[in-house]
Amino acid sequence: MHLSDFISENMESIVQAWEDFARTIEPPALTMDRTALRDHASAMLRVIAKDLTAGQTALEQSEKSKGHGLRDNDDTAAESHADARLLSGYTIEQIVSEFRALRASVLRLWSNSADKRQDVEPLDIIRFNEAIDQALAESVGRYARAVKKSQNLFLSILGHDLRHPLEDSIMGASLIMSTTYIASKHNELATRIFNSGQRMLKLVNNLLDFTRTQLGSGLPINLKKTDIVNLCLGAVEELRTKYPERTIEFSAKGNREGFWDGARIAQVFSNLVGNALQHGAQTEPVTVHLDCGSDEIVARIKNKGAPIDRERMQSIFEPLVRFTEEDSISHANETSLGIGLYITREIVQAHEGVIHVEASNGEGTTFTVRLPRTTATELGSRETTFASATL
């Protein structure tokens, strides 16, 4: 008897074995009835049995074994199963164990069947394993995406809830700092509260930007005519105040005006120059140069010091990634979520620009940002296109 026929004719026995195993997974199984424990098992088995009889090419066989089999746009039974198990409190390890048990149960029952002939094609077992792998990949993928989405929603809500009391604290500290008749020690304390609040607010804003991109909404961009040199110089001056012992060399040339989101572009420069100060050689200057001589603005931020490893450079713009273990030790006092460069890339891309990094032993590390200089005519065209797309 072919394995596909065995599954179809012995569905109840296989599903019972699935239920028996699911009942051992505690604590979620303690609160689940029989229907919930059997959830989607029959549907998945029918899909697997049908797949065993379908023709497939060598490429399709290879892709299926990796969990990349062909599918339509509807949710599969394995994906629906992941949703149900997540709501029931299953961990990802427990879901994987269910599929492992299902694989073992089917093959064991089939092997013990009196109808099983000795001349069964080994291809049956190969095809069955491919189908199980495909279902497992679908289920684990859906579970992981759902968990990630819920985590990002939590972070987004947390960020919003934290931002308002932080802003109130910063405003109160600022008011105290502006008062002339209080003792100097109180003014010093208010200054510390103000500076700490500003650092915390920057972290919260970065967290909110990160969750926006992860949830698919993207970063909001408000294009207005602005002077990009002033934006960059403002970020440089702020960091010169924060790092008085460091040298930042600034230069710019060309037409400075265009349409950008001023606050966002200032954030790009602040992140990149701040990053150069943190990770560059302490005794060497950081150089910032803006070339505004064409329709494209080219900004280069360069620092001397040990270059980034070529392997690590591949993930430098990914969120929650540190450059090196040494960085984490040498900059232990720096407050960072590891998402600054990721947000920088997202802002640049939202402006239809590009950013890349180069590093070498002789030259250090250079970040290059290329931004199109949007004109008033181009801005009107983009706004019209956006309005049409949202109708």
Please report, for the chain, the start and end positions of each structural domain, with discontinuous segments joined by +. Answer: 1-217, 224-378
Residue with tokens 């299926």: 64
Give the span between the Cα atoms of 254 and 98, in whole angstroms: 64
Half-sphere exposure for 105 (CA within 13 Å, toward CB): 23
**Per DSSP, which regions of 134-247 are E strands?**
224-227
Q: Which residues are within 8 A (CB) of 52 and not within 5 positions of it... i.e. 6 or more apart?
A: 2, 3, 4, 7, 124, 127, 128, 131
The pLDDT tens digits of the residues spanning 348-378 come to 999 999 999 998 887 889 999 999 987 555 5
The whole-angstrom distance between residue 40's C-alpha and the CA centroid of its chain comes to: 30
The pLDDT tens digits of the residues spanning 127-165 come to 888 889 889 999 999 988 888 888 777 777 777 777 778
Answer whether 86's CB lies under 8 Å from 36's CB: no
Give the span between the Cα atoms of 234 and 268, in whole angstroms: 12
Give the span between the Cα atoms of 38 and 7, in whole angstroms: 16
What sign does the dihedral 203-208-209-215 (CA atoms) show?
positive
The whole-angstrom distance between residue 167's C-alpha and the CA centroid of its chain comes to: 27
Report the relative pairing of strands 286-292 and 248-254 from DSSP bridges. parallel
Query: Given its phi and psi angles, is residue 280 left (phi above 0), alpha (psi -120 to 50 degrees) or beta?
Result: beta
3-state secondary structure 267-293: HHHHHHHHHHHHHCCCCCCEEEEEEEC
Q: Which range (5-9, 96-100, 144-148, 337-341) has the least confidence?
A: 337-341
| Residue among 48, 38, 44 at smallest CA distance from 2 | 48
Rounded to an integer, the average pLDDT of 298-307 is 89
More confident: 58 or 244 = 244
| Three-state SS at 321 | coil
- 224-378 belongs to which CATH class? alpha beta
Report the relative pairing of strands 296-303 and 286-292 from DSSP bridges. antiparallel
